[in-house]
Amino acid sequence: MGLKLVVLVGSVRSDRQGIKAARYVEKSLAARGHEVAIVDPVAVQLPLLDRMYKEYEKGKAPAVLEELATLYRAADGFVVVSGEYNHSIPPALSNLLDHFLEEYFFRPSAIVCYSTGGFGGVRAAMQLRAMLCELGMPSISSLFPIPKIQNAVDDSGMALDQALDRRFGRFAAELEWYADALREARRKGVPY
């Protein structure tokens, strides 16, 4: 039941840890048979929000937004990788998310949060959950927090802490259930 899943990276710092979490998620979901794309705002050089994608005339949006819109429309679900800045959502993640709206609708999201401290970014995750609902991609119940990420995942996205892999299976299975169920439901139609 291969799904199309998009991993959204919410940090653009040159020394960022978040990309490691995104690579871990990409590898782990690909190993479960899914088609996974990472959206890295650094790699695609996403600008600070000027106009939302939908505010451009049809065919006039910058290429980067057209490409992301196409990717998102084809997606069955999103994994949102969030650090925690001042107990809240990193601005780079808000910026990435804010460019789109309808393209997310009726798809589930799943939150992977992390920090260099012991709480794994869960305070930001609680706020992110409310934001994802507003964006039309409500989050699944389970979170996947990564405390002390600098010791948990290497640069290539391999787990250094084996507990990560043990926890990931249950988290991924829940996302798969919702993504599969909503894919079937979208085939029958959406309310608006």
Ligand X SMILES: Cc1cc2nc3c(=O)[nH]c(=O)nc-3n(C[C@H](O)[C@H](O)[C@H](O)COP(=O)(O)O)c2cc1C
**CA dist., res. 7 & res. 5, Å (int):** 7
With vertex at residue 4, the alpha carbon angle to CA 123 and CA 9, rounded to the nearest 5 degrees, is 35
Cβ closer to ligand X: 84 or 103? Answer: 84
Q: Is the CB of residue 81 less than 8 Å from the CB of residue 8?
A: yes
Whose Cβ is closer to ligand X: residue 56's or residue 119's? 119
d(CA 124, CA 102): 24
DSSP state of 104: G
- Nearer to ligand X by Cβ, of 130 and 190: the residue is 130
- E strand or H helix at 76: none
Minimum CB–partner distance for residue 1 and ligand X (Å): 31
CB of 14 to ligand X, least distance (A): 9
**Nearest distance from residue 147's CB to ligand X, in Å?**
9
Which CB sits closer to ligand X, 17 or 109?
A: 17
Could you list the residues that contact ligand X (CB under 6 A)? Answer: 11, 13, 16-18, 83-87, 115-117, 119
Q: Which residues are registered as beta bridge partners of 7?
A: 38, 79
Closer to ligand X by CB, 18 or 108: give it.
18
C-alpha to C-alpha distance for 160 and 124, rounded to whole angstroms: 24
| Nearest distance from C-beta of residue 61 to ligand X, angstroms | 27
Q: 76 with 4: CB under 8 angstroms?
A: yes
CA distance 152 to 83: 14
Least CB distance to ligand X at residue 137 (A): 21
